[in-house]
Amino acid sequence: MRVCFGFRYSNFVFGSLTATISTATLNAMKLVTSTEMNLLEKRAVESGISLADLMRNAGQAVATEICGLFDSFPGKKALVLIGPGNNGGDGLVAARSLKDAGAIISVYLLSPRDPEDFAYKQVLEADINPIDVQSDAGFSKLRKILDETDLVLDAVFGTGLSRPVTGAPAAALALVAEVREERPEMIVIALDLPSGLNPDTGEVDDSTLAVDYTITLGYAKRGFFLFPGADYTRQILVANIGIPEGLDDDILSEVIDEHDVLAILPIRPSDAHKGSFGKVMVVAGSAEFIGAATLACQSAARAGAGLVTLAARRSLHHIFAAKLIETTHLLLPETMHNELAPEAAEVALSKLTKYDAAAVGPGLGQAPETVEFIHRLLSGISENTKLVLDADALNALSLTPDWWKVFDRRAVLTPHTGEFARLSGLSIGEILANRMEVCRKKAALWGKVVVLKGAHTVVGSPDGRIAVSPSANPGLASGGTGDVLTGIIASLLAQGLDEFDAARAGVYIHAMAGEAVRGNIGDAGMIASDLLIQIPRAIKSIKEHDHASCH
């Protein structure tokens, strides 16, 4: 069975922006490091599969995926670049399978290979004469082949890269890149990963090709969702190489996928009333940031909450009342200088007991009175009210040393990189260098679900799980889109989801809404309020996908 996931809404951007992923197995949505991949390989071998079998499966699966990319494959010209290790071995098996499928094959050896190796023998048995860069007139032949080939399969290096790429491999990859400029119709496919891409960090070598397809083996690699690597993989296909089910139960990283989201979305009974879908209180807004509060309230409603109440400063009520007609309003007392009054927290707390979830922070500002208000609110809020904290609530938290020891209840935090830096004391560079691991570690230390926003948003759970958004949409890098995400997550919390589920489903729905807008108008000029109507559409689409796949 072949299962596809990714965004059906978008125009399937094969560019650097969104990972469109197809998987051959359901568990292939897990995300691995090279160490984890080696561990899974070891477990597979211990369970009785030989390394040669795995390589045979890998090469054949890659060839099958490649054939599936073309309406008619026989007669296509394919060039396979072979490196020194097992990635090259997979390439040799793929070359043989592609020949069997009718391709006209050229195999180009960038390092010597053992002629006794089974994969090499398979190639010779099929009357393929590998060209050896060291003895066969080198690059003039390569250039000639490149001028005519329909596709190039990059099987130079895989997960075993140990140093910068130099010499013949670097020169060959550079030549492919050069010819591709002249012949954009030539398809470039990476076997397992684009050679030179670090599967753990997403770093790339100078020679790494930005390919059209990455056919990865068994599991997607973390580096595909970290930059700059994420710009090099384009469409990712996960090939089933026969690693038995159940060996990956302790792999705790995943790409968020529509099937998961469908499974965790709340069921909405037909005889529902507004109490059925939860009540959200949004504590937000200031004279400077009117829009943040508005967007968070509207998105909470659009994500399905039964009732949304905005708790905001009394002096802003007339503006909010005009903008938010479905929302109810709690007027927070102010001082004569229009700052939140000391008793404002108690006013909010006295009402909050009737709410299932609260979103605190969007656009509150950072005046000392506001910080005091947030601290009081957070220290008094009942465990029965689920919480999502964003923006100025996070800024207020980070003013307290070891804030997580003081604020020690469950919550979802939704920091962007700057807010995460303030909360953690890490530099922006340290966070960007390894977003997934940093998010996982801090979620565990803080005891919170942490949504580290950005291209390929990462959701970390205190129990060590991480879930990564398949989307990287520059259109979402604009003011207010974070407030929309906060509203969606609060809404899902109020509808009964736990913190991790609400966060990963919220991130997915938000991303899907963003892809829908990008599909309509492109990624420049998207504004946060464009997302609002797309939220229920995204939820509907997820539910209909299930319906469609049942028939």
Ligand X SMILES: NC(=O)C1=CN([C@@H]2O[C@H](COP(=O)(O)OP(=O)(O)OC[C@H]3O[C@@H](n4cnc5c(N)ncnc54)[C@H](OP(=O)(O)O)[C@@H]3O)[C@@H](O)[C@H]2O)[C@@H](O)CC1
C-beta of 90 vs 260, nearer to ligand X: 90
Burial 129-160 (b: 16+ CB within 10 A, else e): ebbbbeeeeeeeebeebbeebbbbbbbbbbbe
Q: Does 154 bind K ion (CB under 5 A)?
A: yes
Point out which span in 18-26, 147-155, 210-218, 329-337 binds K ion (CB under 5 A).
147-155
C-beta of 233 vs 414, nearer to K ion: 233
- The annotation status of 395 as a binding-site residue, yes or no, is no
Point out which span in 34-42, 121-129, 195-203, 257-265 binds K ion (CB under 5 A).
195-203
| Minimum CB distance to ligand X, residue 33 (Å) | 11
**Strand order across the beta sheet in which 466-468 lies:** 253-255, 466-468, 458-460, 449-452, 412-413, 386-389, 357-360, 279-283, 307-313, 328-332
| Minimum CB distance to ligand X, residue 110 (Å) | 9
Strand partners, 151: 78, 187
C-beta of 207 vs 298, nearer to K ion: 207
Map the footprint of K ion across residues 97-136, applying CB under 5 A. Answer: none
Q: How far apart are CA 112 and CA 347, in angstroms?
A: 76
Q: Does 509 bind K ion (CB under 5 A)?
A: no
Q: How far apart are CA 13 and CA 16, in angstroms?
A: 8
With CB under 5 to 8 Å by kind, the binding choice for 86 among ligand X, K ion, none is ligand X
Q: How many helices (DSSP H) and strands (DSSP E) are in the chain?
A: 19, 21
Q: Which residue has the tokens 């802003």?
A: 316
Q: How far apart are CA 325 and CA 375, in angstroms?
A: 30
With CB under 5 to 8 Å by kind, the binding choice for 154 among ligand X, K ion, none is K ion
- The annotation status of 318 as a binding-site residue, yes or no, is no
Query: 220 in the Ramachandran plot: left (φ > 0), alpha (ψ -120 to 50) or beta?
Result: beta
Q: Does 198 bind K ion (CB under 5 A)?
A: no
- The annotation status of 161 as a binding-site residue, yes or no, is yes
| Minimum CB distance to K ion, residue 35 (Å) | 18
Map the footprint of K ion across residues 171-190, applying CB under 5 A. Answer: 190
Q: How far apart are CA 111 and CA 114, in angstroms?
A: 10
Q: How far apart are CA 528 and CA 479, in angstroms?
A: 7
- The annotation status of 482 as a binding-site residue, yes or no, is yes
Residues that bind ligand X (CB under 6 A): 37-38, 41, 54-55, 58, 83-90, 157-165, 192, 217-218, 241
Are 63 and 97 in contact by the 8 Å Cβ rule? The answer is yes
Angle at 422 between CA 498 and CA 203, to 5 degrees: 85
> What do you get for the CA distance between the two ends of the chain, in Å?
15
Q: Which residue is nearest to K ion (CB)?
A: 195
| Minimum CB distance to K ion, residue 155 (Å) | 5
C-beta of 191 vs 378, nearer to K ion: 191
C-beta of 236 vs 393, nearer to ligand X: 236
Are 362 and 486 in contact by the 8 Å Cβ rule? The answer is yes
Angle at 330 between CA 324 and CA 334, to 5 degrees: 110
Nearest CA to 534 out of 499, 486, 484, 500 is that of 484
With CB under 5 to 8 Å by kind, the binding choice for 481 among K ion, ligand X, none is none
Contacts of 235 (CB under 8 A, 6+ apart): 14, 19, 20, 21, 22, 212, 213, 214
| Minimum CB distance to ligand X, residue 286 (Å) | 52
Q: How far apart are CA 403 and CA 389, in angstroms?
A: 13
- The annotation status of 11 as a binding-site residue, yes or no, is no
Q: Does 191 bind K ion (CB under 5 A)?
A: yes
Q: How far apart are CA 540 and CA 435, in angstroms?
A: 31
Are 256 and 503 in contact by the 8 Å Cβ rule? The answer is no
C-beta of 156 vs 388, nearer to ligand X: 156
Q: Which residue has the tokens 């469908």?
A: 262
C-beta of 154 vs 339, nearer to K ion: 154
Are 544 and 8 in contact by the 8 Å Cβ rule? The answer is no
With CB under 5 to 8 Å by kind, the binding choice for 90 among ligand X, K ion, none is ligand X
- The annotation status of 195 as a binding-site residue, yes or no, is yes
- The annotation status of 292 as a binding-site residue, yes or no, is yes
- The annotation status of 164 as a binding-site residue, yes or no, is yes
- The annotation status of 487 as a binding-site residue, yes or no, is no
With CB under 5 to 8 Å by kind, the binding choice for 507 among ligand X, K ion, none is none
Query: What sign results for the dihedral spanned by CA atoms 498, 501, 507, 510?
Result: negative
SS3 124: helix
- The annotation status of 491 as a binding-site residue, yes or no, is no
Helix, strand and coil in the chain, % to nearest 5: 45, 15, 40
Neighbours of 549 (CB within 10 A): 12
C-beta of 37 vs 308, nearer to ligand X: 37
With CB under 5 to 8 Å by kind, the binding choice for 41 among K ion, ligand X, none is ligand X
C-beta of 116 vs 185, nearer to ligand X: 116
Point out which span in 105-113, 117-125, 152-160, 312-320 binds K ion (CB under 5 A).
152-160
The one among 57, 106, 149, 195 contacting K ion by CB under 5 A: 195
Q: Does 34 bind K ion (CB under 5 A)?
A: no
- The annotation status of 88 as a binding-site residue, yes or no, is yes
Neighbours of 544 (CB within 10 A): 12
C-beta of 154 vs 523, nearer to K ion: 154
Residues belonging to the binding site are 86-90, 154, 158-164, 192, 195, 292, 363, 416, 453-457, 482-483
Binding residues for (6S)-NADPHX: 86-90, 158-164, 192, 292, 363, 416, 483
Residues that bind K ion (CB under 5 A): 154, 190-191, 195
Residue list, annotated binding site for AMP: 453-457, 482
